[in-house]
């Protein structure tokens, strides 16, 4: 006959030993799957839903942003601030007066494609001297891509 109290080794053979370490591999797998799901779903959440808003007699809330200032250089070299033609000699003085009244230093510069580069740089210098350091150049879409696949200019 076998001895029955031999230290308990025979009884524990079928049971698993308790683990002293945490296996984080399944946790990492789940987190990566969730990350991919959120990366794919996040751009879809920003799409607006078309809604026809009701009409009302209430006035609109005042806008904090000002109407953007636009300076245009026409093909003949003349300069316009918004829609008012301005002499080049008076440009800096008028821009300083406008800059003093505005909260934003942003200005949009539109120039005809036939205007020489030097003339555009003179106007940009005047804009800077007039207090506008945030100058955006306005263009139209559909131009050449310059990567060999777009339409050529001409």
Nearest-angstrom CA–CA distance, 10 and 93: 100
For residue 108, name the pLDDT band (cuts at 50, 70, 90). Answer: confident
Return the structure tokens found at 119.
């003339």
Q: What is the pLDDT of residues 110-129, one digit of tens each?
A: 888 888 888 889 989 998 88
Domain ranges of the chain: 69-137
Whole-model pTM?
0.52
CA angle 148–150–142, rounded 5-degree value: 150
Return the structure tokens found at 142.
């559909």
Which residues 6+ apart lie within 8 Å of 69 measured at CB? 81, 82, 98, 102, 106, 107, 108, 132
- Whole-number average pLDDT of the chain: 77
Nearest to 134 by CA among 66, 59, 53: 66
pLDDT tops 60 at residue 16: yes
Q: What is the pLDDT of residues 50-106, one digit of tens each?
A: 655 566 666 655 555 667 788 888 888 888 888 888 888 888 899 898 888 888 888
For residue 149, name the pLDDT band (cuts at 50, 70, 90). Answer: low
pLDDT tops 90 at residue 20: no
Class of domain 69-137: alpha beta
């Amino acid at each position: 006959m076998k001895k029955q109290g031999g230290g308990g080794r025979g009884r524990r053979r079928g049971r698993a030993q308790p683990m002293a370490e945490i296996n984080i591999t399944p946790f990492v797998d789940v987190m990566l799957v969730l990350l991919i799901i959120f990366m794919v779903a996040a751009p879809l959440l920003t799409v607006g839903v078309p809604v026809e808003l009701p009409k009302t007699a209430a006035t609109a809330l005042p806008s904090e942003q000002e109407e953007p200032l636009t300076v245009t250089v026409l093909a003949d070299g003349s300069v316009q601030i918004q829609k008012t033609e301005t002499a080049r000699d008076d440009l800096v003085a008028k821009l300083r007066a406008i800059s003093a009244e505005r909260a934003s230093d942003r200005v949009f510069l539109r120039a005809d494609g036939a205007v020489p580069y030097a003339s555009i740089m003179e106007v940009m210098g005047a804009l800077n001297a007039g207090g506008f350091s945030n100058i955006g150049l306005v263009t139209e879409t559909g131009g050449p891509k310059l990567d060999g696949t777009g339409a050529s200019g001409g």
